[in-house]
Structure 1
Amino acid sequence: MKTRVLKPVLLAVTAALALSACATATPYGPAGQGSRYGYSDLRVDQNRFRVAFAGNSVTSREQVEMGLLLRAAEVTLESGNDWFATVNRATDRDVRYAASPDPFYYDRYRPYWGPSWRYYRRGLWSPWADPFGSSMDVREIDRFEANAEIVVGDGPKPAGDPNAFDAREVIQNLGPRVPRQM
C-alpha cells in the first residue's frame, strides 16, 4: 500500500523538477534556429520594416513587447538610421488550456469512493460514486507575440509623435532588461 502511494508522489516530484528546469523565458535572439520563438524582421521598403517577437508560454507580455522594441531599435541602427516610428503595432495572446488528472485523487479515494454498478444499471446516481468525475487539474497557458511595422529615419526623432523612438535610447534603456541567449 505504501509503494502505491509513494509511486505517484515520486512521479509528480520528478515531473515538476523536469519542467522547472525547462521553464525559462524566451531569450532575446533570432527565431528559426531550432526554435520558433525569438525575433524576426523583414525589410518591406527602403525605410519600412516589419518586426516581430514571439515568446514561449513562460515569457510575459512585457518581455515580448520589450523584445520587439529592442529589435526595432537594432534594425534602425543596422540600416544606418537614428529613429523609428511604429505605424502598426499589435500584441496577440494565444490561450490554451491543459488538463491533467490529479495524481493523488485515485489512490486516496479508491477504497471508499468507487462505482456501485447496481445503481449505474438503472441510470441512477450512486452515493458511493464521485458525482463530478475524476479530479482534474486545469491550467491556462498564455503565449504572446508582438509585431510592428516601423518607419525609420535620420536625424532627431519627430517632435510630438508618441510613436517615434530614438533607437540609441531604446537600446540603452531596454537592452539590459531583456534576457539574452547564452
Structure 2
Amino acid sequence: MKRSITIAAAWLFLSACSTTPSVYAPAEDGRYGYSEQRLEDNRYRVSYSGNSATSREEVEDYLLYRASELTLQNGYDHFVITSRDTEPRTSYYGNGSPYAGWPPGYGFYGYGGSGFGWGLSTSTSRPVTRYRAYADIVLHRGEKPEGNDWAYDARDVMNQLGPRIVHQVEK
C-alpha cells in the first residue's frame, strides 16, 4: 500500500515538472532544432522542430530566423517563401495499468466474479503536442519586392526576432 502511494506521488510530481522550450540550435540526431537542405544554388528547404514546451509561434519564429540567417550566410539579402507548413504532432501519454485500475483492486476482475477495489482510472491520458515547421525558400539579392507578402528582408527579420530567440549555451 505504501509503495502504491509513493509511486502515485512520484508520478504526480514528475508530471507537474515542466519542460523548457527547445533552444535555437542545429537539430542533432533528428531531434529538436533547425535543419536545412540545399535544393538548388539559391533554393533551400528549412525546418525547425520544437519539443513539447515550444509553442507553435516560437517554432515558426525560429524557422524564419534560420531562413534569414541562411540567406545572409550565403551572401543574399532577402528570401521568398514558395511553400510553408507547420505540422502538429500529438502523442497521448497515459498513466495506470491496462487492466482493472492502478493500483489494482481486490476481487476477481476478468474471471466473471465480483469484488471491490480502488484506483485511478485506466483511461486517463494527456496529449503532448510538438510542432515542426518547414518552408521552401528562394534566396535573392537586392531589396525585397514590394507587395509580395511571401518576401522577407533577412536583416529586418533577424533584428525583429533576434531578441526573442533563445540560443544554445556553449558548454
Range into which the TM-score falls when normalised by the shorter chain: 0.7 to 0.9
3-state SS in 1 of match to 2:125: strand
Displacement after TM superposition at 1:101 (Å): 1.9
- Whether 1:147 aligns to 2:142 is no
TM-score normalized with structure 1 length: 0.77
Letter in 2 for 1:120: G
- Whether 1:47 aligns to 2:42 is yes
- Contact map agreement 2:105 2:116 (CA 8 A) in 1: no
Mapped partners of 2:138, 2:74: distance in 1:
11
Q: State the match for 1:178 in structure 2.
A: 165
Deviations 1:55-89 (A, max 9, x none): 11221111110010000000100010111110011
Identity between Structure 1 and Structure 2 (%): 38
Q: Among residues 24, 28, 53, which one is paired with 1:28 in the alignment?
A: 24
Q: CA RMSD in A?
A: 2.8
- Whether 1:156 aligns to 2:143 is yes
Select between 5-14 and 78-87 the one with higher mean Cα deviation.
5-14
Deviations 1:119-147 (A, max 9, x none): 924xxxx5x557xx944431001111111
Change (3 A) 1:14 1:157: same
- Whether 1:12 aligns to 2:11 is yes
Displacement after TM superposition at 1:11 (Å): 2.2
Mapped partners of 1:53, 1:79: distance in 2:
19
User: 1 or 2, which has the higher helix percentage?
Assistant: 1
Q: Over alpha carbons, which structure has the higher Rg?
A: 1
- Whether 1:120 aligns to 2:112 is yes
Change (3 A) 1:4 1:49: closer
Mapped partners of 1:10, 1:110: distance in 2:
18
TM-score normalized with structure 2 length: 0.81
Aligned residues: 164
Unaligned runs of 5+ in 1: none
Mapped partners of 1:144, 1:10: distance in 2:
30
Change (3 A) 1:5 1:46: closer
